[in-house]
Structure 1
């Protein structure tokens, strides 16, 4: 069972790579995101100075207007992760004054993965506004339990595809039941 459940986790992408999530250097998050192939199960890692930045997930309209007044979620620890749970667009901005307008915003586009069939309809928005992500920040690495133990991530490291989690659990249950007979 350990082998089956540990096989498929998404890629980890450090937003902004070595520069991280900032407005100081002239970063082009649009071209950075366009150069990646994001998939369901991938993890976005936002690293930044929490005294000067935050991460706010917003709607497309709010993204275009740099408006953080009605966010889906806000993170402010300086070392935050977001796991992609469906296809579509995910919009992130920094809500500190002037940061979004100066380019600290990113549109993460996740195409449908036709390999495993159609993507289900929209999922409930989670985490709730003003709350941290519910999953641990570094699910790919069993030894990484907190920010200090995580090595910098420059690019994705795994070629794993993502099976829908319910299929994985059905498989694990079937194996467990067959072993008991």
Structure 2
């Protein structure tokens, strides 16, 4: 379960008070799974999810979603931009619109730093030859190692790892 963000914080979703929704969204880091909460008076506002083009022009046609309960939530399903506007006349033009940007999540496991010599050490794993860095042939039951597609795939994978580490070892 992600974090819950109330659009506009204490002001909520409104066109009164000139809430800076662009600034509000820019001050947050949204992630997949987070919940965007729209709280508003449903007699005076609604929430319409639209395309980027319709967001820029405040056009409510061809909406992805229209919400109007006054207490609506949207859970972020994936990375990208999610554009929301109020569909009542002149509200979007007055600034009642928000672009929720969900950046691509960075790799949670950065590569380890290279040793001080600048050259990556040989990669070794159980069953590997430490001197070559290449995995020995692997075979499936009933297959000779010479005809095993698994051998080629494993060797190719380990060779790719060795090449990448050797080339980019100093960059990490």
Within 5 Å, give how 1:88-167 maps onto structure 2: 88-115=80-107
Distance 1:22 1:37 in 2: 22
Gaps of 5+ in 2: 110-172
4+ long deviations beyond 2 Å = 114-117
Residue 69 (structure 1) shift: 1.1
Written as runs of structure 1 = structure 2, the 5 A alignment for 1:34-53 is 34-53=26-45
Structure 2 SS opposite 1:31: helix
Give the count of matched residue pairs: 109
Please report the RMSD computed on the Cα atoms of aligned residues, expressed in angstroms: 1.2
The TM-score normalised by the length of structure 2 is 0.62
After superposition, what is the alpha-carbon deviation per residue over 1:77-106, rounded to whole angstroms, capped at 9, x for unaligned? Answer: 000000001001000000000000000000
Question: Which of the pair has the greater relative contact order for Cα pairs under 8 Å at 6+ separation?
Answer: 1
Looking at structure 2, the residues matched to 84 and 110 of structure 1 have their Cα atoms a distance apart, in angstroms, of: 8
Q: Residue deviations 1:47-88, cap 9 Å, x none?
A: 000000000000000000000011000000000000001001
Q: Which residue of 1 aligns with 2:13?
A: 21
3-state secondary structure, aligned to 1:96: coil
- Structure 1: give runs of 5+ residues left out of the alignment: 1-8, 118-181
Query: Residue 26 of structure 1: CA displacement?
Result: 1.0
Give the TM-score normalised by the residue count of structure 1. Answer: 0.59
